[in-house]
A and B are shown apart, each in its own frame.
Chain A
């Protein structure tokens, strides 16, 4: 919760006048102009939303208006869980506001240890390492595992943190067509047999909300002698018997060498992690730069994460409700005539595809004015140059809210003229 703040109508990026020679920011002139042209049409800036008050996992005050949130990653609705909030408050009182240090020096408190213990129990692994963000977990683990002469093989639609992890290291990087088992097999077959190879997969791809054919991909990767890292950022909490992710549901737990995840989605706070059964895994704490050269998470954050992870172990009813919400919204949007990123609801993300930026922003703004917030996504974050409105559901969305959401999509789409 926060004090009331004002929403800037438009964050002004550029100023008039010619840039001085040698202005390093002039390379962004085209983007500044594109954004200004869009804002000049009178729409609100989709990337400058401020939530003045947050009422619950599914509602906030935006520009003075109560708004249903359908664009968070708060899948399991843990942000306001009383036990989670209480654990954070207690840690804040007992351990202070921050650690002011690296995990390997003065920044590992009892709470960090307990958080890693909770992860080991949740995933049933022998090791767990907590990073300060999910982004840093990917940066650190990928750049450290794959060194000079090794190969990283990644899906073309991989998250930015995976690509950035590749650039931080010295390995050779090969990518295959999104979710194509055949393309992966073909590329692995062309790589040197003896070289170290890390195949990186994601359980759920967050832009379209589609899931990976992990059973087939893992079989191919193992056939070629690769180690496998699976990012379950958007799968943790509601896939598989224990909620570990898509890899658990696919029945390939024993073949995944490293699972990377985040606390900023189902867990409901911030932070990242990697879990593994590899006997030498703990050495990463000494050699992983994004782990060593940054401050550790505040005590309150690891306390909320640990409390949340333990509750997620027994969240069967929430999981069932989240899946029900996702299937109902998917069916409802299809019935209204929208084009969606997946033929059926494969995850808690439902992406509505629009032909161009103007239509996408038009519907986005109409929804906001009706009291619904969704995420707007555009290239380069999206595959194939698509403009998307991404809806992400929460286990805390009530049946009534899902009904309201569908009504608002009907009204907004008809007002803009993109559905009949």
Chain B
């Protein structure tokens, strides 16, 4: 597995506890549209991702991230 594949696997694993709708997870899955997360879920999930990768995803960055693929790319960049 490439680094990105590994990050994708870890991110989707972290999504599962919050994936109440059992939506299929691809790069194009949207947090708001497909997973229907509210702001509180986003907050908990972001904290979990930050702790998993030991990074900070600022609220400014969060505003730009809409899909699982974009999050994986952001995590890749931040942990580099």
Residues of the A chain whose Cβ atoms lie less than 8 Å from the Cβ of B55:
190
Stretch at the interface among B15-23, B28-36, B39-47: B39-47
Report whether over half of chain B's contact residues are helix, strand or loop; otherwise say mixed: helix
| Number of A residues, CB within 8 Å of B | 16
> Of B39, B50, B60, which contacts A173 at CB under 8 A?
B60
Instruction: Assess whether B43 is in contact with A175, with CB atoms less than 8 Å apart.
Output: yes
Query: Chain A residues with Cβ under 8 A from B51's Cβ?
Result: 186
B 51-67 to A, binary, CB cutoff 8 A, 1 in contact else 0: 10011101110000000
Most buried by A among B39, B50, B55, B58: B58
Q: Does A334 have its Cβ within 8 Å of any Cβ on chain B?
A: no
A257 to chain B, nearest CB (A): 22
Contact A385 B58 (CB under 8 A): no
Q: Report the minimal beta-carbon distance from A368 to chain B, rounded to whole angstroms.
A: 29
Q: Which of chain A's residues has its CB closest to B54's CB?
A: A190
Confirm or deny: A283 has a beta carbon within 8 angstroms of a beta carbon on chain B: no
* Residues of chain A in range 161-220 having any CB-CB distance to chain B below 8 Å: 166, 172-175, 177, 183, 186-187, 190-191
B59 and A173 contact, CB distance less than 8 A: yes
**Taking CB as reference atom, which chain B residue is nearest A178?**
B43
Which single residue of chain A is at the shortest CB-CB distance from B57?
A: A174
* B59 and A175 within 8 A (CB): yes
Minimal beta-carbon separation of A376 from chain B (angstroms): 20
A172 in complex: contacting residue of B38, B39, B60, CB < 8 Å: B60
Partner of A380, one of B39, B43, B50: B39
Partner of A187, one of B40, B56, B60: B56
Binding site for B on A (CB under 8 A): 151, 156, 166, 172-175, 177, 183, 186-187, 190-191, 380, 384-385
Could you give 5 example pairs across A and B, Cβ below 8 Å?
Answer: A151-B58, A156-B43, A172-B58, A174-B58, A384-B40
